[in-house]
Structure 1
Amino acid sequence: MQNKRPLSHGQEVEQMQRDYSDHNWSDPETQSATLLEAITTFEENNLPYALIGGIAGRGLGRPRVTHDIDLFIAPEDAKCALKALSERGFTTEERDPAWLFKAWKNNTLVDLIFKSSGDIYFDEEMQKHVQRVPFNDHFINLISPEDFVVIKAAVHQEHIPHHWHDALAVLTEGNLDWEYLVKRARFSPRRVLSLLVYAQSNDIAVPLEAIQTLYRKLFEMRSQVPKKVIYPYREIHESKESSRPKDSIIYIKARIMEALNTDERTADHDIKVVVTENSVDVRGEVFTKDQQKAVHEVVRGISPDKEFRNHVFVRTLPGPEESEVIQ
């Protein structure tokens, strides 16, 4: 197993060339066999996972060629998963300890992703909505279409526009749990709202209620009575505690993000968290001082010993004074 270390420019180029080559050497049959071997390894080790990325997109209604395998896992499972694949004969690498490990076998690249853009994690809520689907005489775990849409909206950038269109294709397929999609949109509400409005402008059947609900959550001030903070983070099985350090930066950040996104006082706000060895830095905006105070309480409840830097500010964003009218 290779650990993440600073790379020289030449090493970075060599690493990129290796990734590129692996992306182009994998044929569909080899890719399928490697995928099944990887998920068999996960299931034998009781490691929850969901297939995301291009292969998942094909299963959800977006035919697209892809040469790698993307598996979404929980942060506390990342090292266990990489070790299990290594023992199975995969070449492994801790590419970025903040969000990504990699594994190779049969010239096929497997990305182990444990944090997506928008600070989205493979949390308990997402795990409950994973779909069990047939694949080459086997059954595999596929991310729900609702979570797929949210992740794609969050990760979209100018240089990778296919993510936006992947999400649009899934919206076009329909059969979505809109209540759940709106709930999950709390991780990247502005991007998801933009996506839904754009989809509706292209005659994709997006319920107006979903758009209105997201808009209200984002732009209408709410005064909420503080409630007891509950952290429904998935408990770790005793047999795996030694390999999942609860004081690791990744684990602490995952717990903070889930707590912020499940507490009624702080959910539905675009709050970013950076955790270091000595501090927790929180940035974003809320609508009331009570919500600002709640951010402090939630973070302190998870990490009381680290220095806390609260850069969350209170901002009022009124909605439009009147409805838009097109003559």
Structure 2
Amino acid sequence: MATSEDSQPLIATLKKAAFHLKDAGIPFCLAGSFAVYARGGESVDHDIDFLIKEEDAERVLASLAEVGFRGEVPPEGWLVKAWDATEDGDLLIDFIFCPVQRPVTDATMQDTDIIAVNACHMPVLSATELMIHKVLTWSAHYCDYARGLPVARSLREQIDWPRVYRETAHSPYAHAFLFLIDRLGVVSLAETTALAAAV
């Protein structure tokens, strides 16, 4: 998919970071809202998220510092940040190595497809893993299904729903979301649970 960089200044920063990570030979993949966008889906978020492995975090910041990014190591312990100084202000990229308590591994990096994002080819996280990440963000402190519905609806044919069911079965918020999208006609919960049990 293509979009105007005048109206989407984050796209230029995203492409700049992806180019330099590829040039440095650092494994990464696009995740979050722009991965949904790259897959032709709809997202209500407007941020840049890349997944990296934890052991590569320092190399990521060092590589991007060479081209003008300002790095940050926040106290959360599951990501690092890089800021790109542009005419539109400082634009942020999150480089996440442990999303929703799931460490990024070589297997994560393989669960991707090479997709052109405004003519820049890069690895993009699978729709299934994107949905799993979205679902597992919900808890007693934050549970906004309105942010997950557009993703489920727009990417439903790309998503392995039995896998989503299996890997989020411990979460009551995930189960409630699957019940909701069943009632909305997005997926069949009965079919999903049957296929999940058959594996």
TM-score, with structure 2 as normaliser: 0.79
Structure 2 residue 170 is matched with structure 1 residue 201? no
Equivalence map 1:1-327=2 (5 Å): 28-60=7-39, 61-64=41-44, 66=46, 68-96=47-75, 98-105=77-84, 106=86, 107-117=90-100, 119-157=101-139, 160-162=142-144, 164-173=145-154, 174-178=156-160, 181-183=161-163, 187-191=167-171, 192-206=174-188, 208-212=190-194
Report % sequence identity. 22
Distance verdict in 2 for CA 1:62–1:84, change over 3 Å? same
The answer (yes or no) to whether the contact 1:131–1:141 under 8 Å persists in 2 is yes
Question: Which string of whole-angstrom CA distances, capped at 9 and with x for unpartnered residues, describes residues 243-293 of structure 1?
Answer: xxxxxxxxxxxxxxxxxxxxxxxxxxxxxxxxxxxxxxxxxxxxxxxxxxx
- Counterpart amino acid of residue 84 in structure 1: S
* Alpha-carbon distance, 1:160 to partner: 4.8
* Alpha-carbon distance, 1:111 to partner: 0.8
The answer (yes or no) to whether the contact 2:50–2:94 under 8 Å persists in 1 is yes
The answer (yes or no) to whether the contact 2:81–2:94 under 8 Å persists in 1 is yes
Distance verdict in 2 for CA 1:211–1:194, change over 3 Å? farther
The answer (yes or no) to whether the contact 2:131–2:159 under 8 Å persists in 1 is no
Structure-2 separation of matches of 1:84 and 1:63 = 29
Distance verdict in 2 for CA 1:206–1:172, change over 3 Å? farther
- Runs of 5+ unmatched residues, structure 2: 1-5
* Alpha-carbon distance, 1:123 to partner: 2.1
- Counterpart amino acid of residue 78 in structure 1: A
Structure-1 separation of matches of 2:114 and 2:188 = 25
Distance verdict in 2 for CA 1:155–1:36, change over 3 Å? same
* Alpha-carbon distance, 1:213 to partner: 5.4
- Counterpart amino acid of residue 97 in structure 2: F
* Alpha-carbon distance, 1:140 to partner: 2.2
The answer (yes or no) to whether the contact 1:101–1:111 under 8 Å persists in 2 is yes
- Counterpart amino acid of residue 130 in structure 2: F
Higher Rg? 1
Across the two proteins, how many residue pairs are aligned to each other?
186
Distance verdict in 2 for CA 1:28–1:161, change over 3 Å? farther
* Alpha-carbon distance, 1:28 to partner: 4.1
* Alpha-carbon distance, 1:128 to partner: 1.7
Distance verdict in 2 for CA 1:48–1:184, change over 3 Å? farther
Relative contact order, CA 8 A, sep 6+: which one is greater?
2
User: What is the root-mean-square deviation of aligned Cα atoms in Å?
Assistant: 2.7
The answer (yes or no) to whether the contact 1:131–1:144 under 8 Å persists in 2 is yes
The answer (yes or no) to whether the contact 2:48–2:93 under 8 Å persists in 1 is yes
- Where 2:94 maps in the other structure, the secondary structure is strand
- Runs of 5+ unmatched residues, structure 1: 1-26, 218-327
- Where 2:71 maps in the other structure, the secondary structure is strand
* Alpha-carbon distance, 1:203 to partner: 1.5
* Alpha-carbon distance, 1:79 to partner: 1.4
